[in-house]
Structure 1
Amino acid sequence: MSRIALLGGGFSTDADGVLDDWVLGHARASRPNVCFVPTASGDAPAYIEKFFDAFRARDCEPSVLPLFRRESSDTALRDVLLAQDVVYVGGGNTANLLAVWRVHGVDRLLREAYAGGTLLCGISAGANCWAEGSHTDSYGPLTHLPDGLGLLPGSVCPHYDSEPGRRPSYRAAVARGALPAGWAVEDGAAGLFTDGRLTEAVTRSPGARLYRVRADGEAGAVEEAVPCRLLDG
């Protein structure tokens, strides 16, 4: 069973930690190893500190995988990633994240971890990276990025409701075939995908939604809201 969680929130944006608790609840271990991968932010120290502040207080074993000042061998890097129950990828620049991962072989190791049952998750760029393509501001203006690990079929668009231009730009990219049909995540919502299929959709705030967006010959693109279960705050 291989699983991916797309997050519209978490420790970096929400004070309540509801979505992070939801993620840990799906880990395969009662006290899971959770590795934060902050590559998309350039391994920003403040981001790493925020992760530790949030997860040291939880029933888990938190760690961080830095790549910009890497000190581990290829063997050690593989051992670290394959020992994780949860790999949590932070936000930032999706295109840069993918490039750095490929330089260090992290893309191949994450595929191996995914096949072995590690729960992969993340917010913003950390959600984009798992799909075949995504909607991103990696190059400045909002645009489509037909690149990703491809573990999740289709495309992903984060911040669907909170950043101006996201919704029409993503719909237009799907409508013209620049991106395949995919999933748009509003801030506060999250989706769990098991073997590539959506198996659970939740929200930490009433009104936040996860959408399925697909091309439609007459309408250009259509979005279908997925019913989300409201998590206890």
Structure 2
Amino acid sequence: MTAVPETRLALLGGGFSDEEDGLLDDWLLDHVRVPRPKVCFVPTASGDAPAYAERFLAAFRPRPCEPGVLSLFRRELDDDALRTFLLSQDVIYVGGGSTVNLLAVWRAHGVDRLLREAFARGTLLCGISAGANCWAEGSHTDSFGPLTPLADGLGLLPGSVCPHYGSEPGRGSSYREAVAERVLPSGWALEDGVGAFFTDGRLTDAVTRTPEARLYRVEPDGDGEVKEQTVPCRLLSPPHSGDTVPAPGSPPGGPTRRHRR
């Protein structure tokens, strides 16, 4: 009997687009199980911005991988070639921008179905900002201008996601309110600089590139309150600086705060 591959997914609170040390992208590649993986960048959420794609290629060409870019606004592949291309990738890395536009374009081209197929086959899916939002059942987005709960996504990761938690005014309070009112399901809130890795839907690794950045689990707690639990993260170290160490301030289990709306 053929073994069913593990499903693997990573949420990134940073990467090549806004960091110079490359720690989160190196951490991501450390989770890939082939020597020279194919890494496909999907910049749909930014309207396939050329400068964004070039920045990805400049960051990943020196790394031990085969980087590529999938453009849907200037699509050249027919349906069969598109499926072959996506299913041949070891990593699919989705960029930031508009979560709503990204989902709409993917569905128009059938990319949502192909990503589900790739995920089931063991392809590592990941992304930053909108590229993190898209994998969950719901998310917290500014795709409509004001911060808004979006009860839509591919649903490959149970629950909801909130990127830029704590780094953008109103993100935290607005997301907590959406979870408290059950407009969004319980979920994961990432501060910039954090990485969260999920295997078969379970959190199996959490890291931070700075001691201050945190990952939180946010859940409703009844009586108009939400629980915000800090998730312990490993502090990533630059190459040759020694082993990673636990991030200070995150004891086992993490502190829990309750917020009343």
TM range (shorter): over 0.9
The answer to whether the 8 Å contact 1:9/1:19 transfers is yes
| Higher RCO structure (Cα 8 Å, ≥6 apart) | 1
Task: Provide the alpha-carbon RMSD of the alignment.
Answer: 0.6
Matching residue's letter, 1:221? V
Note if 1:71 corresponds to 2:70.
Answer: no
Task: Please name the residue that 2:129 is paired with.
Answer: 124
TM-score by length of 2: 0.88
Number of aligned residues:
233
Give 1:82 deviation, angstroms. 0.4
The answer for unaligned runs of 5 or more in structure 1 is none
Of residues 226, 232, 236, the one that matches 1:227 is 232
User: Aligned equivalents of 2:54 and 2:163: distance in 1?
Assistant: 23
Give 1:218 deviation, angstroms. 2.9
Q: Which contiguous aligned blocks of 4+ residues in structure 1 show a shift greater than 6 angstroms?
A: none
Of residues 166, 170, 173, the one that matches 1:165 is 170
Report the identity percentage: 73
User: Aligned equivalents of 1:66 and 1:93: distance in 2?
Assistant: 16
User: Aligned equivalents of 1:218 and 1:13: distance in 2?
Assistant: 39
Spell out, residue by residue over 1:32-63, the C-alpha distance to the aligned partner (whole angstroms, 9 max, x if none): 00000000000001100100110001000000
* Stretch of structure 1 that moved more, 214-223 or 82-91: 214-223
| DSSP-derived class of the 2:85 partner | helix
TM-score by length of 1: 0.99
Task: Please name the residue that 1:176 is paired with.
Answer: 181
User: Aligned equivalents of 2:78 and 2:25: distance in 1?
Assistant: 30
The answer to whether the 8 Å contact 1:176/1:220 transfers is no
Task: Please name the residue that 1:149 is paired with.
Answer: 154
Of residues 1, 23, 26, the one that matches 1:21 is 26
User: Aligned equivalents of 2:103 and 2:176: distance in 1?
Assistant: 23
Of residues 191, 194, 203, the one that matches 1:198 is 203
Task: Please name the residue that 1:49 is paired with.
Answer: 54
Task: Please name the residue that 2:139 is paired with.
Answer: 134
Matching residue's letter, 1:180? P
